[in-house]
Amino acid sequence: MGLAWTAMGGSTLYIETILVEQGEGKGALHVTGQLGDVMKESAQIAHTVARTILLEKEPDNQFFANSKLHLHVPAGATPKDGPSAGCTMITSMLSLAMKRSVKKDLAMTGELTLTGKILPIGGVKEKTIAARRSEVKTIIFPSANRRDFDELAPNVKEGLDVHFVDDYNQIFNIALGEDPKRED
């Protein structure tokens, strides 16, 4: 689950990734959901970084080299753009590739770079309120947004477990961790 800023405030953004076809050399990514150019670029970056991380964590896993994937952002009638879903996209892809479930009450936002860095985003207040509305208990924000979060009213922050990250590996440990059959 990602978090988005919209003209109406914040909203949650679900990212779905499925395996379409497997076979040697079939590695590809197809994206849908009325995504703008920046969000399409974020999906490509997420796919590239996911390949790198998978090879680091599971050197024998050739999932991305041999799998055609379809990434979709539901609510296709609503145009979506911006870079802050990159960390959510890569998490969705790695969850599928590694057969690990993502924590259910977790939402995240952050622009992903090709080197795995997580860059700051806008709309921290709106995204936090959207997370609360969706009964999210854990939020991941870029470290550069810590001050924005700290300035929020106490009632907006209350009861949330918030993590601030600089690098995707930190998100991986929170979202996918070491438990491949997560039940929480």
Q: Which residues are catalytic?
A: 84, 127
Distant-in-sequence, close-in-space partners of 10: CB < 8 Å, separation ≥ 6? 3, 4, 123, 125, 126, 127, 128, 129, 130, 131
Q: What are phi and psi of 175, to 5 degrees?
A: -80, -40
Distances (CA, A) of 2 to 47, 68, 124: 16, 23, 12
- Dihedral of the CA atoms 44, 49, 55, 61 (nearest 10)? -40
Question: d(Cα 162, Cα 145) in Å, to the nearest integer?
Answer: 11
Question: d(Cα 46, Cα 112) in Å, to the nearest integer?
Answer: 7
Question: d(Cα 125, Cα 48) in Å, to the nearest integer?
Answer: 30
